[in-house]
Amino acid sequence: MKKQLFLLFSVLLGYSELSFAYDPTRGALQNAPELRSYGYNQQDIYNRYHPSGNVGNSYNNNGSSYNNTNVVIVNLPSKYGALVYSKKSGFVTDSVNEDSLEEAKRVALQKCEERDPTKSCEVYSWIRNGCQALATGKKNGRRAIMKGYFATEGKSEKLALEKCRSEKFKECTIIIPERCSLPDD
């Protein structure tokens, strides 16, 4: 009885290992470059248009395998921006594409203090490698400002307005359009 159970267990274990070891999507046909138009070998197509991600086995136009393990790492210096406002006068300004956070804050504060007679400017927010916009809205006779932030261009204004509306403010409008501080590529 023990031998039969051992034999049955061995067969089942061997079968389960085989089922995990064999991957029918990785066979020779799936890697043939001429079958790309049928949906096979999508990694090869990705590698062609994304060369920095081209790591591991790939296939050239005649179907031969090559190994490309050269990873390219690009270090771009960060860029910073700051939003500054004056509570007393309501004046709002910003800075973008500065090389340090301290410089971004200094430039924005200087711009604010040059135009604000009350000299009550404060840093409202800052960004590193991203975009931001400011919206304002009114509720219960008070006006508030809300920031929209996103890592890429084109979404910060929408986010600032959505935040304003979601907090039940009325007359939501953009007061500082999207400004981006992004590394140069």
Q: Which of 127, 133, 119 has the alpha carbon at shortest distance from 164?
A: 133
Please report, for the chain, the start and end positions of each structural domain, with discontinuous segments joined by +: 2-68, 80-181
11 Cβ contact list (under 8 Å, min separation 6): none
Residue 106 phi/psi, 5° resolution?
-60, -45
Which run of H or of E encompasses 19?
Answer: helix 2-21
Dihedral sign of CA atoms 98, 99, 101, 106 in order: negative
Query: Would you mind telling me the total number of residues written for the chain in this entry?
Result: 185
Indicate yes or no: pTM above 0.95: no
pLDDT in single tens digits along all 185 residues of the chain: 666 655 555 555 554 444 444 445 555 555 555 555 555 555 555 555 555 544 445 555 555 555 556 666 767 889 999 999 888 888 889 999 999 999 999 999 999 999 888 889 999 999 999 999 999 999 998 988 899 999 999 999 999 999 999 999 999 999 999 999 998 86
